[in-house]
Amino acid sequence: MTLHVKNNIYWVGKQDWELREFHGSEYSTHKGSSYNSYLIKEEKIALIDTVWSPYADEFVTNLANEIPLEKIDYIIANHAEIDHSGALPALLAKIPGTPIYCTANGVKSLKGHYHQDWNFQVVKTGDTLDLGNGKKLVFVEAPMLHWPDSMMTYMTEDAVLFSNDAFGQHYASDQLYNDLVDQNELHNECIKYYANILTPFSKLVTQKIHEVLSFNLPLDMICTSHGIIWRDNPAQIVEQYLKWADSYQENQITLVYDTMWESTRKMSEAIASGIRKADPTVTIKQFNLANSDKNDVLTQVFKSKAILIGSPTINNVMLPQVAALLEEIQGLRFTGKTAAAFGSHGWNGGAVNRITQRLKECGFNTLEGTKVEWRPTQEALQECEAYGKNLVAQLGGVSADDAKQTTVATELPSMVCRTCSWVYDPETGEPNQGVEAGTAWENVAESFLCPVCFMGKDDFVPVADAAAKAA
C-alpha cells in the first residue's frame, strides 16, 4: 500500500498489526508498530529507509508497482538497524550499485549486518543532496539517538523532517497522521517509547534538538520511522521531548514488587495507604512484577518522582524478576528521582539491603528501606503505613530541581566523548562504573568506558578543547 504524504512524498512502508514484541522480547508492542519508508519523486528519486526483513519481498514487490526500481537514484539509510534496513539486500539484488547515503558509522553497521560492500556514500551534518525542482535533502547526524549510526534527513521547500527513531512510537494505525488517531493512545505510546528507548540519551536529545532548532528551518511535518506522521503542530512532540529529557517527573509514586506468600504485597498496599493519607493529591501506582508488563512498569517509573522496590528474601537475595528490573533501570539511567526498598523475610533480610545498594548504583536519591519479619502482623502493617507517611514528608523538601543538584563543589574540568558527545562531569562522577562524585578525570580508571557509546577513556578530550575545535 502506498499513501500520499505531501507533494511528491509517499509512504511506502508496512503496518505490522500483529507485532507484540520488539528488539527480541525486550519491548512490548501492545498496539503493533509500523516500519515507515518514504519515496520522494522529484527530478531525482530518493528512497528513505526500508522495512523489517520479514516483509522484504512484499516491500520490494509493492515498491516496484509504484515505480520502476531502476529509476530510484538514491537510497537514504537514516539508521542501519534491521527494522529500517531489512529490505536492503532484496532491493539491491534488483538494483545493484544504487548509492546508499549514510553516516560513517552507518557503513560499519550495514556491513556488520549484511556483509556486503555496497555503494556507500558517507555524509555528515550539513551535507546536501540535490533532488532537482529546487529541493534538497540536508543530512543531520544524530549519534546515539539511539545508535551511533543514526541520522535525520530534512527536505527543503517541503519543510519535512525525516526524523528516524526520534519522535516515533510503536503504534500501528491506518490513520497516517497524528491528528487522526486517538490522542490518549498516541500520548501513551510516545511516552512509553521515550521512557524505554531514549531515556539513557536524554542529554543528547536536548543537545540535538537545540542544534536542529539553531538552523532556523521551517517545519511542516515530522515523518518518523515508526508510528504516525506529525502534521498537526509537529512542534508539539519536539517540545514534549525537551520536557521528557529534563529529569522528567510527575506528582506520582510507584511501588513495584514481587511476592512469594503475599507478605510483600501486603506491605506495598500498607505503604501506599500511608502515602495516600499523607498526600491525597499524589498519584499512586502499584505493580506486581509477576503479572505486569515490564515496559509498562518502566514507563511509570519514568513518570514518577519516587519509586519503592519490594521483594521477599530468598537465599539472602531478592527475587529474580526484581533483580532483572533493576538491571533495566540501571541501563536507562533515570535522573532526579528518589527511591527506597521494602520487603519481608524469615531468618535473614538480605533482599532489602541488596535492593538499596542497587538503587544507589542506579543513581537514585536513596532513602532507608523498611523490612518486616515473617508474615506482617497488624502492627507491622501500621508501621508500613507510617513509613509511607514519612516518605511523603521526606519528599516534601525535594523538588525536581533540587534532586538534580549535586553537592560537590569543584572546578575540575569536564571531558567529552568525541564519538557521541557524552560529557563526563567530575561533580557527578559515573556511579554506574564506581566513579565517585568529585573524581578528577586523571583519577578515573583506564578501564572506563563511555556509558553511551562504550568508547574507551582515550576517546575523551576536554570540553574546552572540543568547543574550541568546533568554533
- The pLDDT tens digits for 215-233 are 888 999 999 999 999 999 9
Cell 558509522 locates to 105
For the chain, the structural domain boundaries read: 3-244, 252-403, 415-470
Give the CATH number of domain 415-470; options: 3.30.390.50, 1.10.275.10, 2.20.28.10, 3.20.20.150. 2.20.28.10
Q: Is 16 helix (H, G, I), strand (E, B) or coil?
A: strand
With bands split at pLDDT 50, 70 and 90, how would you rate the model's confidence at 406?
very low
Per-residue model confidence (pLDDT) at position 470: 54
Residues 382, 384, 385, 389: what is their CA dihedral angle, to the nearest 10 degrees?
Answer: 130
Decide: residue 87, CB within 10 A, 0-12 exposed, 13-18 middle, 19+ buried: buried
The CATH number of the domain covering residues in 252-403: 3.40.50.360
Q: What is the mean pLDDT of the chain?
A: 91
Active-site pick, 16, 49, 83, 430:
83
Per-residue model confidence (pLDDT) at position 398: 41
Per-residue model confidence (pLDDT) at position 63: 97
4 is catalytic: no
Per-residue model confidence (pLDDT) at position 428: 80
210 is catalytic: no
Distance CA 144, CA 142 (A): 6
Active-site pick, 23, 43, 239, 465:
23
User: How many angstroms from the chain centroid is the CA of residue 310?
Assistant: 25
Report which secondary-structure segment, H or E, holds 202: helix 202-213
With bands split at pLDDT 50, 70 and 90, how would you rate the model's confidence at 400?
very low
Q: Is the pLDDT of residue 240 over 70?
A: yes
Distance CA 136, CA 85 (A): 22
Task: Please compute the mean of the pLDDT values over residues 384-405 and round it to a whole number.
Answer: 72
With bands split at pLDDT 50, 70 and 90, how would you rate the model's confidence at 184?
very high
Active-site pick, 74, 101, 171, 193:
193
CB atoms within 10 A of CB 389: 16
83 is catalytic: yes
Per-residue model confidence (pLDDT) at position 1: 75
Q: Is the pLDDT of residue 152 over 50?
A: yes
Task: Please compute the mean of the pLDDT values over residues 82-98 and round it to a whole number.
Answer: 96
Per-residue model confidence (pLDDT) at position 215: 86
In the chain, the N- to C-terminal Cα span, in Å, equals 47
115 is catalytic: no
Cell 540501571 locates to 330
Contact (CB, 8 A) for 450 and 148: no
Q: Is the pLDDT of residue 399 over 80?
A: no
226 is catalytic: yes
Q: Report which of residues 347 and 150 the model is more confident about.
A: 150
Q: Is the pLDDT of residue 347 over 90?
A: no
345 is catalytic: no
Residues 6+ apart with CB under 8 A from 237: 167, 178, 190, 222, 230
For the segment 254-286, what is each residue's pLDDT rounded down to a tens digit? 999 999 888 999 999 999 999 999 999 999 999
What cell does 131 get? 533532488
With bands split at pLDDT 50, 70 and 90, how would you rate the model's confidence at 11?
very high
Per-residue model confidence (pLDDT) at position 403: 38
CB atoms within 10 A of CB 230: 25
Active-site pick, 84, 170, 226, 345:
226
Q: Beta strands of 296-454 (E only): which ranges?
A: 306-310, 338-345, 365-366, 370-373, 415-417, 423-424
Task: Please compute the mean of the pLDDT values over residues 148-156 and round it to a whole number.
Answer: 94
Active-site pick, 10, 55, 84, 146:
146
- Domain 3-244: give its CATH architecture: 4-Layer Sandwich (3.60)
Per-residue model confidence (pLDDT) at position 469: 65
Active-site pick, 42, 49, 79, 158:
79
With bands split at pLDDT 50, 70 and 90, how would you rate the model's confidence at 374?
confident
Residues 60, 61, 66, 70: what is their CA dihedral angle, to the nearest 10 degrees?
Answer: 60
Give the pairing type, strands 338-345 and 306-310.
parallel
Interhelix angle 294-303/320-332, rounded to 10 degrees, is 50
Report the candidate in 338, 325, 252 with the shortest Cα–Cα distance to residue 292: 325
Active-site pick, 16, 49, 141, 165:
165
Active-site pick, 81, 158, 385, 430:
81
Task: Please compute the mean of the pLDDT values over residues 139-143 and round it to a whole number.
Answer: 92
Cell 553497521 locates to 109
Decide: residue 247, CB within 10 A, 0-12 exposed, 13-18 middle, 19+ buried: middle
23 is catalytic: yes
Task: Please compute the mean of the pLDDT values over residues 115-141 and round it to a whole number.
Answer: 96
Task: Please compute the mean of the pLDDT values over residues 119-147 and round it to a whole number.
Answer: 93
Per-residue model confidence (pLDDT) at position 468: 61
182 is catalytic: no
Interhelix angle 263-278/378-395, rounded to 10 degrees, is 50
Q: Do domains 252-403 and 415-470 have the same CATH topology?
A: no
Per-residue model confidence (pLDDT) at position 411: 59
Per-residue model confidence (pLDDT) at position 410: 38
Contact (CB, 8 A) for 318 and 355: yes
